[in-house]
Amino acid sequence: MTETLLANARIVLPDEMIHGQIRMMDGRITDISEGKTVPQGAIDCDGDLVMPGMIELHTDNIERHLEPRPKVNWPHQAAILAHDAELASVGITTVFDALRVGSVFTSTRAGYGEYARSLADEILDMRARKQLRISHFLHLRAEVCSETLVEEMAKFGPDDRIGIVSLMDHTPGQRQFRDIDKLRDYVMGKRGLSESEFEEHVSSQQALRARYGEKHEATAVAEARRFGAVLASHDDTDSAQVATSAQHGVTFAEFPTTVEAAKACQDKNIKVMMGAPNLIRGGSHSGNVAAADLAAADLLDILSSDYVPSALLSGALMLCDLWGDIPRGIATVTSTPAAVTGRGDRGRLVAGARADVIRVARVGAGGATRGVWVEGRRVG
């Protein structure tokens, strides 16, 4: 039995702020009370924010550690440990590691191979050995525009801690890359393709979508049910695509690209997730709708760090300021992502919840973690 008491803190409760103390014991929150006293043995938070540990639903961060430079493959165990430690250091206490399923072999320069099953095994093994600091689940990014989605998804099952399956469709000319010029800049810059190679890539991807798209989409939806995972859409652009998402049973929409799509999601009771880097930078790097515009229109429910883990905390605090409501801003990275993924044991500071708690000091428009606890154990 271990006990930790955080005192003299501004505590972010689900619907209000209080100045008080929070007690953690044996992995759970046992008591929250008001008052400015600092009992003997307590940690004096000096008026810092104390909030639930953040929940990250979509991050590609692990890939950056696996390939720190182009064509440099880093040892997987070291990469997973570094990824886990980085997330813990910025206050993320639960992560759904996003792994792509579905590969492309017909395009040699722009193609990509299978990796999800083997990497998932390594993550799950390290978790079982208690080598990781935070709570890890899997998020399978089902790439509809691919050759091997059916075969790759069949290798997973209900015991693999798959919390999310997202329907990814990166076919050139639609969704995220409606603007072919934006796609050209992205792919040619990342892959070093010539103009002719880029044109070949576009035509081969469009052919794959025409050949396999419907089958792969149906497979991903069915497999999500088999895993017991929630379903997410990706880059919805118009109301027709959102209507299809709703028919599939999508719970939340990742990065809708237009106001029209975000409004349609709200009408269908689909939560809208946007990238914190989009919010912080003031716009989308792909030329799509700005997260700040959706927030101002009350069309934003969840934030994701996407490709910058530290952006999650700063983005949530920006929303607190934008809305003038700290509990509402913090909910976009805590209670709402917990709710849409069925993780009701976390994401809120209430007695009986998991003691996933972070202490945060404001630094300008953002913030910095000054303490991170996972099930009551300090990890950062």
Q: Tell me which DSSP letter residue 360 carries.
A: E
Pairing status of strand 28-34 against strand 3-12: unpaired
Name the pLDDT band for 75 (thresholds 50, 70, 90). Answer: very high
| DSSP SS3 for 165 | strand
pLDDT at 175: 60
pLDDT band at 118 (very low <50, low <70, confident <90, very high): very high
pLDDT of residue 243: 97
Residues 49-65: what's their mean pLDDT?
96
Of 277-291, 306-320, 323-337, which gets the smallest average pLDDT? Answer: 277-291
Query: What confidence tens digit (pLDDT) does each residue in 128-151 have?
Result: 999 999 999 999 999 988 889 999
Tokens of 163: 């919390």
Q: Are 328 and 336 in contact (CB under 8 A)?
A: no
Instruction: Compute the average pLDDT of residues 66-94.
Output: 95
Per-residue pLDDT, averaged over 84-113, amounts to 87
**Residues present in the chain in total:** 380
38: exposed, middle or buried (Cβ count in 10 Å: 0-12, 13-18, 19+): middle
Strand-pair category, 357-363 with 49-52: antiparallel
**Predicted confidence band at 284 (pLDDT cuts at 50, 70, 90)?**
confident
**pTM attached to this predicted model:** 0.91
Tell whether the model's pLDDT for residue 111 goes beyond 70: no
- Over residues 9-22, the mean pLDDT reads 98
Higher pLDDT pick, 170 / 243: 243
Residue 33 has pLDDT above 90, yes or no: yes
Encoded tokens for 158: 């209900």
Cα dihedral angle (209, 214, 220, 221), rounded to 10 degrees?
A: 150
Q: Residue 199's pLDDT is what?
A: 62
Q: Mean of the pLDDT values across residues 72-90?
A: 97
pLDDT(253) > 60 = yes
Across the range 206-225, mean pLDDT stands at 86
Residue 204's contacts (CB-CB under 8 Å, 6 or more residues apart) are 104, 106, 107
Q: Which domains does the chain have, with CATH numbers?
A: 3-378 (3.20.20.140)
Over the chain, what is the mean pLDDT?
Answer: 92
Under DSSP, the state recorded for 74 is P
Range with lowest mean pLDDT among 7-11, 108-112, 318-322, 344-348 = 108-112
Note the pLDDT of residue 349: 98
